[in-house]
Structure 1
Amino acid sequence: MNLYDISSVEVGEHFYWTIGDFQVHGQVLINSWIVIGILIAMAVLTTRDLKAVPEGGQNFIEYVLEFIRDLTKTQIGEAEYRNWVPFVGTMFLFIFVSNWSGALIPWRIIELPNGELGAPTNDINTTAGLALLTSLAYFYGGLNKRGLGYFSKYIQPTPILLPINILEDFTKPLSLSFRLFGNILADELVVGVLISLVPLVIPIPLMFLGLFTSGIQALIFATLSAAYIGEAMEGH
């Protein structure tokens, strides 16, 4: 098997759109738009009638915002965290709703000309894109806060560690993307296989377990993203 054959190996079936000379995974874009629509609708519905004493949807959204704010403050620090709450919050909410959509919605009952639907985060392209955004964010945060002095971290505590410190910047997005992709894909595959074999009883507790692990994976991704940003800005 040559390298071209290896690169053509796929997990599951994909619905492709052809744009010019490129092929994109149509089902990923469709589901991503659905998730974005859910988030926008939730934001509009819970904030259109704000009250001094929150209740109902406003109470829920304020709790979510407070949770994200505390997470960001813990990882980045009191002085700098406010500017990063929107980024960390967007990452957390998009991944959380994407993961839960895969655990709750039986996407495969929706027939496509080819391929199948699933959570956006069960595609490596989505998770890699999110991980690269995190990399850009912590590079921007470090350069914005420390200027060119940011690059001194590569030779600390000793210049001998320069190759290892450079390699670390490649391993961070790799670990973020593959951890999220692997967990969500494995959960959907296990539930899908069990539903086909034992459709009534066994999949139900596994679906609840999938909801729990999906939420944990969103929390891990957002926490590590904020931690990397805080580390870049502090320089240690």
Structure 2
Amino acid sequence: MTLKFLVNKLLPTVFVLLASATALNAAGGEVSSHAYQLHEIMGMPITNSMLTTWVIALALILAVRLAVGTPQLIPTKGQAVFESVYSGLESVMEPIVGSKLINKVLPLLICLFLFILINNWSGLLPGVGAFGFKDAEGNLNYFFRPANSDLNTTIALAAIAMLGWLYFVLRYAGIKLLAHDLFGNKAEKDSTPLPLYFFLSLVFLLVGLIEVVSIGIRPLTLSMRLFGNILGGETLLAKIIDMLPWYVPGALPFYLLETLVGLIQALVFTLLTAVYIGLICNHEEEH
């Protein structure tokens, strides 16, 4: 039995069996749309989704520190992995936000992408959504819950993304450019008849008001899109696992599907954040 066989054949099968035996099976095929409160500290409730985000954040920090350590001119294997992720996202995001802003925006985008990706995949780990304690009413409260299946987590992520958008827009574009981009007349005044120019000014003003409404609902669309997809995936897995005995790896195709969905949703969230920033700040090619 070679190492290649263990890695490529045996370990994935064992992982799926363990996950099928534990993940969400105790819920009887049901996934709650809200997190459970595990404890309370100084009046602040501590939920299982919060606990999951803390564990993942700590794991990411430790993974980067242990894999990279002190950056070297000749990178180690761990440093090369993270540099590949960095350069890959940089090549995707640079045309969107612009070459002048990419090095300033990329840390935020990388943090969002990795944190959302691992949280999306956390529901596939054995033990998540399976172990906990019973409350006074006899309900089982799980210690760990896929964080992005909790609307509070996705709202917080959307708020961070929009605060980042606001900072970069005000810092590197300015209020004047923002106001012109939203409400300003984009027609050339010298080559446009004056009556038509004033009419276009009114049109652009109305379009700007619609754009303000669009900006206002961006946090809602970002958070609901991510929440809906992850909660839907968790519900699907719970139903499939509840229908099958623990030793039947019939959920494998759905685990692969949710792995792909988690990656796509993390990339969509990050790309939309980059697009929102680039729409205002990336005007490098205009003049």
TM-score by length of 2: 0.72
Amino acid at match of 1:212: L
Instruction: Give the conservation status (yes or no) of the 8 Å contact 1:91–1:222.
Output: yes
CA distance in structure 2 between the aligned counterparts of 1:143 and 1:224, rounded to whole angstroms: 18
Stretches of structure 2 lacking an aligned partner (at least 5 in a row):
1-31, 136-140, 186-203
Q: Which residue of 1 is the match for residue 156 of structure 2?
A: 129
Q: Which residue of 2 is the match for residue 6 of structure 1?
A: none
Q: Which residue of 2 is the match for residue 154 of structure 1?
A: 182
Report the aligned-residue RMSD.
2.2
CA distance in structure 2 between the aligned counterparts of 1:51 and 1:20, rounded to whole angstroms: 44
Q: Which residue of 2 is the match for residue 15 of structure 1?
A: 37
Q: How far does residue 61 in structure 1 lie from its aligned partner after superposition?
A: 1.4
> Which of 109, 114, 122 does residue 88 from structure 1 map onto?
109
Q: How far does residue 64 in structure 1 lie from its aligned partner after superposition?
A: 1.1
Q: Within 5 Å, which residues of 2 pair with 1:82-231? A: 82-114=103-135, 115-116=141-142, 117-149=144-176, 150-157=178-185, 158-199=204-245, 200-231=248-279
Larger radius of gyration: 2
- 1:51-76: CA deviation from partner (whole Å, max 9, x where unpaired): 54434322211111112222331320
**Secondary structure, in 3 states, of the residue corresponding to 1:103?**
coil
- Aligned length in residues: 226
Instruction: Give the conservation status (yes or no) of the 8 Å contact 1:138–1:232.
Output: no
More helix by share: 1
Q: Which moved more, 1:86-95 or 1:197-206?
A: 197-206
TM-score by length of 1: 0.87
**Secondary structure, in 3 states, of the residue corresponding to 1:37?**
helix
Stretches of structure 1 lacking an aligned partner (at least 5 in a row):
1-9
Q: Which moved more, 1:62-71 or 1:104-113?
A: 104-113
CA distance in structure 2 between the aligned counterparts of 1:163 and 1:105, rounded to whole angstroms: 48
Return the structure number with greater relative CO, CA threshold 8 A, min gap 6. Answer: 2
Q: Following superposition, which runs of at least 4 residues in structure 1 exceed 3 angstroms of deviation? A: 16-22, 49-55
**Secondary structure, in 3 states, of the residue corresponding to 2:40?**
strand
Instruction: Give the conservation status (yes or no) of the 8 Å contact 1:195–1:203.
Output: yes
Amino acid at match of 1:100: W
**Identity value in percent:** 26
Instruction: Give the conservation status (yes or no) of the 8 Å contact 1:15–1:25.
Output: yes
Instruction: Give the conservation status (yes or no) of the 8 Å contact 1:32–1:98.
Output: yes
Q: How far does residue 41 in structure 1 lie from its aligned partner after superposition?
A: 1.5
**Is 1:35 equivalent to 2:56 in the alignment?**
yes
